[in-house]
């Protein structure tokens, strides 16, 4: 799911990636908004807010919004750097961004109750979630070759609209491949919305402790991938007992 890239990557890998990380992102999107009244999975809305604050000469809020946009960018940059440059064993380099994201979400789950609606608290918590979503968005995009994006739906809805228009056209398009892409877009939307609904409901009942759910999802996804790698290596050793590894 995470370790396969390029020609080794299959449609099934992208479906698994879209499902699990789409739920996590949708959850953070809804729960983060309910918790801090801030969109925490993308920066599109922040661009408009930043422009409005500049026009009203509210420089203090404008600086905060600019910081949020920068943190999303920083998360994407660091994730890309880790995967492409820092990871000595590229097969496991994806683990680091996911662990960072899990630590951030756990920090919000443990310390979110200290949020007192002050500007400093909002900077800290909302900014950390934007950083985490920047990490995830960059990681997913790099792994899938920009086929899957899980932290927002704008591009996904656009692609889905284009592909739905193409599928009804009578031309030489590969309809099978096109329908597969439509199915993938639909899966991304469905699981993101499912995660958002879960985030909205669970945050009402469990408050900041609800953020442990996306942490658990990321942990399960990580263990699933690592366990499969180890199992495959074990069977290779059984099949080739005299081969040096």
Q: Could you give all domains of the chain from N- to C-terminal order, each with its CATH number?
A: 9-239 (1.20.1250)
With bands split at pLDDT 50, 70 and 90, how would you rate the model's confidence at 85?
confident
With bands split at pLDDT 50, 70 and 90, how would you rate the model's confidence at 17?
confident
The whole-number pLDDT of residue 171 equals 66
User: pLDDT tens digit string along 20-63?
Assistant: 889 999 999 999 999 888 888 888 888 999 999 999 999 988 99
User: pLDDT tens digit string along 201-236?
Assistant: 999 999 999 999 999 999 988 888 777 655 455 445
User: pLDDT tens digit string along 99-157?
Assistant: 999 999 999 998 887 766 555 577 788 899 999 999 999 988 888 877 888 888 888 89
Q: What sign for the dihedral angle of Cα 44, 46, 50, 51?
A: positive
């Amino acid at each position: 799911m995470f370790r396969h890239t390029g020609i080794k990557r299959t449609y099934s890998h992208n479906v698994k990636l879209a499902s699990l990380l789409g739920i996590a992102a949708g959850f953070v999107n809804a729960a983060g908004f309910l918790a801090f009244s801030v969109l925490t999975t993308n920066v599109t809305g922040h661009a408009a807010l930043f422009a409005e604050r500049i026009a009203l000469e509210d420089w203090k809020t404008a600086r905060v919004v600019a910081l949020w946009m920068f943190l999303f960018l920083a998360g994407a940059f660091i994730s890309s750097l880790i995967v492409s440059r820092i990871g000595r064993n590229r097969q496991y380099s994806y683990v680091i961004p996911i662990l960072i994201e899990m630590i951030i979400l756990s920090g919000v789950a443990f310390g979110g109750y200290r949020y007192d609606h002050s500007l400093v608290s909002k900077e800290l918590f909302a900014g950390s979630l934007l950083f985490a979503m920047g990490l995830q968005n960059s990681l997913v995009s790099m792994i899938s070759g920009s086929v899957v994006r899980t932290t927002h739906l704008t591009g996904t809805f656009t692609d889905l609209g284009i592909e739905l228009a193409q599928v009804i056209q009578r031309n030489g398009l590969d309809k099978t491949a096109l329908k597969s892409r439509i199915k993938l877009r639909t899966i991304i939307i469905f699981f993101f919305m499912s995660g958002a609904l879960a985030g909205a409901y669970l945050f009402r009942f469990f408050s900041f402790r609800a953020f442990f759910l996306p942490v658990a999802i990321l942990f399960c996804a990580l263990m699933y991938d690592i366990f499969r790698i180890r199992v495959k290596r074990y069977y290779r050793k059984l099949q080739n007992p005299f081969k040096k590894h």
